[in-house]
Structure 1
Amino acid sequence: MNLLPRLNEDMKQAMRSKEKEKLSVIRMLKAALQNEAIRLGKAQLSEDEELTVLSRELKQRKDSLHEFEKAGREDLADKVRNEITYVNLYMPEQLTEEELENIIQEAIQQTGASSKADMGKVMGVLMPKLKGKADGALVSKLVQKLLLS
């Protein structure tokens, strides 16, 4: 996947087309990836590590969006919505709810889970498979729903 070359190209394109907001988000993503590489002491991040950084950045923005909407700050909420759109460009395609339910059903059968108490086992099997492909809160909600049915 190595995102840095793609981010560099997109950054040049954003500069040429004078897309300030997109440029800002790309620079932020590059910095986050480079900081993570430095923190881990690596020259280059693996695809999985890049995905972890992107997921973290996306989650931070979603949390901020929720807080801004709660506080009635539509100006800031709009800015964060645009940032989320740009970050999503670099994320893998998200799974549909139906695809998620099928994967969750397989994990429930695989772990032999039968009650809500087994949710940790199911989530432990699911999250590595779904990393970056589904929102953790949605996965958790669906697991609960399927374990109770």
Structure 2
Amino acid sequence: MEYQVLQDEIKAAMKARDNHRRDILRQVHTECKAIEVNERRDVTEADVDAMLKRVIKQTKETLDGSIKAGNNQERTDALTAQVAILEGYLPKQVEGEELVTLIDAVLADTGAATKKDMGRVMGELTKRTGGNFDKAAAAKELGSKLS
């Protein structure tokens, strides 16, 4: 997601009086603003995606802790909704048949044949997809294809 799109989404949530979505997006915006201030550079689309993933990870950890602690259901539902909203802004993940096809192409391009090459293949998959692929499924598929 582009930085300007994030700002536009915050404005749209404000106009729609969707306070929950607005607050969640502001959290991501604050993280991105820190990049501008601390690193003195413009925020890129990759930065916004990284911040979305980071906030999702933090929220999921909080959600897991909330479930284990047996906190009230209202908080658990709010955290679950927050994760769903944030995941809606991430780029589509490569999975299923599309992932298998991409793995085959990477294997052909890199000439990987053994399990020792798995890290190199995963790295190339990360480059080609921007990290937006099902890593567990990719590792399982690679494990079956490499000797």
| TM, length-normalised to structure 2 | 0.78
Whole-Å Cα distance in 1 between the matches of residues 14 and 103 of structure 2?
Answer: 43
SS state at 1:27 partner: helix
Contact between 1:51 and 1:131, CA under 8 Å: does it hold in 2? no
* 1:90 aligned partner: 89
Deviation at residue 86 of structure 1 after TM alignment: 1.6
Q: 1:76 to 1:147 in 2, by over 3 A?
A: farther
Report the secondary structure of 1:6's partner residue. helix
Query: Does structure 2 conserve the Cα–Cα contact (< 8 Å) formed by 1:92 and 1:132?
Result: no
Distance 1:128 1:54, change over 3 A: farther
Q: Which amino acid aligns with 2:19?
A: K
Q: CA deviation at 1:50?
A: 2.6
2:9 maps to: 10
Task: Write out per-residue CA displacement over residues 3-49 of structure 1, whole angstroms, 9 at most, x where no aligned residue.
Answer: 2x32233223322333221111111010111112333221x122223
Percent sequence identity is 27
Aligned partners of 2:2 and 2:44 also within 8 Å: yes
Cα distance in 2 between the residues matched to 1:13 and 1:70:
35
1:144 and 1:40 mapped to 2: Cα distance? 40
Shift of 1:110: 1.9
Distance in 1, matches of 2:25 and 2:64, equals 22
Question: 1:127: Cα distance to partner?
Answer: 0.7
1:68–1:77 Cα contact (<8 Å) kept:
yes
Q: How many residues align?
A: 146
Distance 1:63 1:122, change over 3 A: farther
1:22 matches 2:37: no
SS at match of 1:124: helix
Q: Please, which runs of 5 or more residues in structure 2 have no aligned partner?
A: none
Taking the aligned partners of 2:18 and 2:70, their CA distance within structure 1 comes to 27
Aligned residue number for residue 147 of structure 1: 146
Q: By how many angstroms is 1:75 displaced?
A: 4.4
C-alpha contact 1:105 1:146 (8 A) present in aligned 2? no
Q: Determine helix, strand or coil for the equivalent of 1:31.
A: helix
Aligned partner of 1:56 in structure 2 is: 54
**Any idea what SS the aligned residue of 1:28 has?**
helix
Change (3 A) 1:110 1:59: farther
